[in-house]
Amino acid sequence: MERLSRDEDRERDHVRPRPWTTLPELDGPVERSGDASLDPQDWSRLRALAHRMLNDVFDELAGLWGGPVWRPMPARVRRGWEEKLPRSGDEPETVYAGYRRLIAPYGVGNRHPRFFGGAR
């Protein structure tokens, strides 16, 4: 395979765009409506949640030695997984609270220092 220079590579990409980087033809200018954005309404609120999430991760990692390698999921939590998925979005804080309650405590244990693998 012939190796192209950086300029030749750019030129090749410009002439023959990759399918995942091209956009379909549009009939006219695209207008951005308020409902079409995935941006948060309040960046500072999302930033505060992200900082809390990062702090929680570091707290969990710092406390791994003090907890069990693995913990079984209680039946009441497992039943929560049988609920229908929501059809609309939810606030990021609510989603994170669900993660902390339903997912985080019941990992497979591979972050724990005494974890050596195995099957259950």
Say what the pLDDT of residue 43 is: 95
Which helix (H) or strand (E) element contains residue 11? helix 6-15
Does residue 14 lie in a domain region? no
Sites in the chain below the pLDDT cut of 50: none
Q: Are 92 and 46 in contact (CB under 8 A)?
A: yes
CATH number at residue 101: 1.20.1340
Does residue 108 lie in a domain region? yes
Does residue 48 lie in a domain region? yes
First to last CA, the chain: 47
**Rounded to an integer, what distance in angstroms lies between the CA atom of residue 10 and that of residue 24?**
22
Does residue 32 lie in a domain region? no
Say what the pLDDT of residue 34 is: 55
Does residue 22 lie in a domain region? no
Say what the pLDDT of residue 18 is: 55
Does residue 52 lie in a domain region? yes
Say what the pLDDT of residue 55 is: 98
Does residue 72 lie in a domain region? yes
**Rounded to an integer, what distance in angstroms lies between the CA atom of residue 66 and that of residue 77?**
23
DSSP state of 33: P
> What's the number of domains the chain is made of?
1
Does residue 16 lie in a domain region? no
Say what the pLDDT of residue 62 is: 93
Domain that holds residue 110: 44-120
Q: What is the pLDDT of residues 27-56, one digit of tens each?
A: 666 565 656 678 888 999 999 999 999 999
